[in-house]
Amino acid sequence: MKARLEALCKKSIAECSYEEIYRALMTIVKEESKAREKAVKGRKLYYISAEFLIGKLLSNNLINLGIYDEVDGLLKESGKSLAELEEIEPEPSLGNGGLGRLAACFLDSLATLDLPGDGVGLMYHCGLFRQNFRNHCQNETPDYWLDGAQWAEDTGKTYEVSLAGKEYEARLYRLDVTGYDGRTNKLNLFDLDTVDEGIISEGIQFDKTEIDKNLTLFLYPDDSDDEGRKLRIYQQYLMVSAGAQMILEECEKRGCKLHDLADYAAIQINDTHPSMVIPELIRLLGEKGIAFEEAAEIVTKTCAYTNHTILAEALEKWPESYLEEVVPQLMPVIRKLDEAVKEKTDREDLAIIDKGHLVHMANMDIHFTHSTNGVAALHTEILKESELNQFYQLYPEKFNNKTNGITFRRWLLSCNHELTEYIESLIGPGFKKDASELKKLAAYGDDQKVLKRLMEIKTANKKKFSDWLFKKQGVALKPDSIFSIQSKRLHEYKRQQLNLLYLIHQYFEIKNGHLPAAPITAVFGAKAAPAYITAKNIIHALLTLSKVVEKDPEVSKWIQIVLVENYNVTAAEKMIPACDLSEQISLASKEASGTGNMKFMLNGAVTLGTMDGANVEIADCVGGENIYIFGQSSRQVIRLYEKGDYCAREWYETDPNLRRAVDFIDGELMLSEGDEGSLRSLKNELVGKDWFQTFPDFNAYVVRKNQAVTDYAVNPEKWAKMALLNISGAGYFSSDRTIAEYNEDIWHLGETEEVSGI
Ligand code: 26Y
């Protein structure tokens, strides 16, 4: 390895700059990955997704290729460190949140399990915006992550895509996805050569009509106007049309007669963003001489759909007129699909095109795929019993659950070396390939030596995170305080505002001499969608409160509030190992699964959460005594919505503690630091609406969180044991398990199946 590196750099490692070492290692990784490519037999998966939140690639690839320790040692010998080397790698900006990170974990697990499965998506030039804070507000700037050496390679292949009647060339870029001791699969990303970062001005503004220049600039461009919404359709179609052509081409190369497409390809549609792949495939099969009915059947057998939300606003519905303008070639197909449905049933809520001429993408997915899955047990139950009940009645056999998972390579082995090593010293290395072996850790639940060491590792990780944050943001943290962390997209349903209310409540308690059992460090990581005003107001309130607290020496002894700027995978890798209390406080029924919750538990944090999404299964795995659950149940929440008589103002008027906290938001102190309009409007939103029912859960949250803080402070052995049992109970949440289930129930990769009935 040493010789290879030095040959590439043409000098000794000690003499190389980090940039030179990085490029040389990239070359070596690419060569090693190539050696693990395998021919595909039978069915291959294509996971189509608008997001792939893959994170930095170097270290993860070194781990998966089994050469991390060797490289680490070599660098150390020359007075260099892998940790510093990692700093120079830009994080790919190809995703936003859980859905994108899930796609990345899935690619890792597919390759690790030696299953043939590629990703298909878009090569965004700036992806998701970069976040910074100014005047206690979120600002957005473009993230030019493509500058510098690239993992993705230009394949030289292009596909013609017709958008609004004009022809464009989609160029295919490819990057390797190598599994842990596994094969190499590919992530396929499309782009247009004509896209021009030069048209970006004033933050992340650009001309939305110049499609050839703007098409792949940003992920989720602002859709608050018609042009923005159409741009989303342009993007989606570029992805699915180029993707569908690539899939058909690959299958035909492997000898597939397109009548047998389902024997060669399984296509997983990640939420509704890639849904147009259904009519696009039918259209392409039609061009190759396959009649509509058969084409629709083939596509139904090939495709499967994953639902990630029950929030109505995230279930895409496009006006027929937009589709007619951007993808006129698809409309005849979509109308035929709609007619086929209408022949079967006249229920309006099952239609693809509704009376208001909106095309319901999720409806098309459920009718014309063979599988619809939710992403956690509770979520799937809610889909079957309420949100999609009409579909469940029609196609009970299509519905199934696939509880999400995370790859332990990135979220333990790579981000928490100390803990990994220590676990290995206790139970051996088997857990790295078979996560269920983590269970063996439970045997150490009463071993004081082990518990003590576990807490030492946690403290070391808190220090590391604190040092990193100090370098980045100039903020110093107290490692002996309890680190409560809420990191996830900023959204009202996730209820960062409930955490805000708790912190204000604590402010008053401290002022009144009721001190918490331990000092609390409340850490947030969250980006708000640029057009989502309430989300931005919540960020503003948190930043303002952070300043108010900081300025008050009496309170700042006990509470510190920190928002990590530009929260992304890299930041998460620092934050998660440092967490004591994992905040998973969404309104029950609203968080489909959550995956951060799994990452935190795996790294020895204890969850404070509602019975929502995968929290329910986490509680199952660790037992009720090792998790802090609070709040209304999903049943209660759903009933309250059905009755429609939730009145936030009543809660506000009858609960003095709550009222005190809410009034503080636009009280004198906050106004002395923050913006009146923004703070007022947040308060009004809460008192006048509180659509995600923070008020009914407020008291339970305060009580439960204080209980956790007290346990942490007065009963450290109990806390350490809970942490240990959380790690040992995390095995179920490996994405290897999830992918094995998808494969078993939906994909059957690498097998050929007799085609019948077509
Ligand atoms: C187009 C727009 C409306 C939109 C943009 C992004 C819609 C949805 C999304 C992203 C959704 C997302 O990240 N969902 C999360 O998926 C995770 C993986 O299944 C879940 O764990 C998490 O609960 C869910 O919020």
The pLDDT tens digits of the residues spanning 440-495 come to 999 999 999 999 999 999 999 999 999 999 999 999 999 999 999 999 999 999 99
Q: Which atom of ligand 1 is nearest to the CA of 595?
A: 21
The Å distance, Cα 392 to ligand 1 centre, comes to: 22
Is 489 one of the catalytic residues? yes
ipTM value for the complex: 0.99
Residue nearest to atom 16 of ligand 1 (CA): 99
Q: Is 375 in the pocket of ligand 1 (CB under 6 A)?
A: yes
CB atoms within 10 A of CB 134: 8
Position 641, amino acid: Y
Contact 347, 366 (CB under 8 A): no
Q: Is 608 helix (H, G, I), strand (E, B) or coil?
A: strand
Q: List helix spans (H) across 113-195.
A: none
Write out residues in the chain with pLDDT < 70, as ranges: 752-758
In 25-34, which positions are buried (b, 16+ CB within 10 angstroms) versus exposed (e)? bbebbbebbe
Identify the residue whose C-alpha is closest to ligand 1 atom 8. 314
Q: How far is the CA of 99 from the centre of ligand 1 (A)?
A: 5
Q: Whose CA is nearest to atom 22 of ligand 1?
A: 594
Separation in Å, CA 229 to CA 50, 316, 317, 322, 358: 15, 11, 11, 8, 13
Burial of 405 (0-12, 13-18, 19+ CB in 10 A): buried
Please work out whether the CB of residue 272 comes within 6 Å of at least one atom of ligand 1. Answer: no
Supply the pLDDT for residue 758.
35
Q: Under DSSP, is residue 201 helix (H, G, I), strand (E, B) or coil?
A: strand
Cα 741 to averaged position of ligand 1 atoms, centre (Å): 21
Which pTM value belongs to this model? Answer: 0.98
Q: Which of 359, 268, 270 is nearest to 316 (CA)?
A: 359
Write out the H or E segment, with its range, that includes residue 400. strand 399-401
Residues 6+ apart with CB under 8 A from 305: 268, 269, 275, 362, 365, 366, 369, 371, 372, 373
Specify the pLDDT at position 417.
97
3-state secondary structure of 482: strand
Which entry of 489, 527, 536, 721 is annotated as an active-site residue?
489
Q: How much distance in Å is there from the Cα of 72 to the middle of ligand 1? A: 36
Element (H, E) at 175: strand 166-178
- Regarding the domain with residue range 445-733, which homologous superfamily does it belong to in the CATH classification? Glycogen Phosphorylase B; (3.40.50.2000)
| Alpha carbon nearest to ligand 1 atom 10, residue | 99
Residue located nearest, by CA, to atom 18 of ligand 1: 99
Cβ–ligand 1 contact at 617 (below 6 Å): no
Alpha helices in 526-667 (DSSP H): 533-550, 553-556, 569-575, 596-602, 615-622, 634-643, 648-654, 656-665
Question: What residue segments make up the domains of the chain, in order of their start?
Answer: 445-733
Atom of ligand 1 nearest to the CA of 592: 23
Quickly tell me which residue has 């906050």 as its tokens.
670
How remote is the CA of residue 101 from the centroid of ligand 1, in Å?
10
How far is residue 614's CA from residue 735's CA, in Å, rounded to a whole number? Answer: 13
Q: Which pLDDT score is estimated for 752?
A: 58
Protein residue with its CA nearest to atom 7 in ligand 1: 314
Pick the catalytic residue: 130, 402, 488, 536? 488
Note whether 575 and 566 are within 8 A (CB): no
User: Is residue 104 in contact with ligand 1, taking CB distance under 6 Å?
Assistant: no
Q: Is 595 in the pocket of ligand 1 (CB under 6 A)?
A: yes
Active-site residue identified among 56, 130, 432, 494: 494
Closest CA to 45 of 172, 186, 235: 186
Nearest atom within ligand 1 for CA of residue 97: 13
Residue whose CA is at the smallest distance from ligand 1 atom 21? 594
Q: How much distance in Å is there from the Cα of 256 to the middle of ligand 1? A: 34
Q: Is 494 a catalytic residue?
A: yes
Helices (H) and strands (E) counted in the chain, each on its own, are 33, 19
Quote the distance between the C-alpha of residue 321 and its chain's center.
32
595 is catalytic: yes
SS3 582: strand
306 lines ligand 1 (CB under 6 A): no
Q: Is the beta carbon of 270 within 6 A of some atom in ligand 1? A: no
Q: What angle do CA 508, 513, 517 make, to 5 degrees?
A: 90
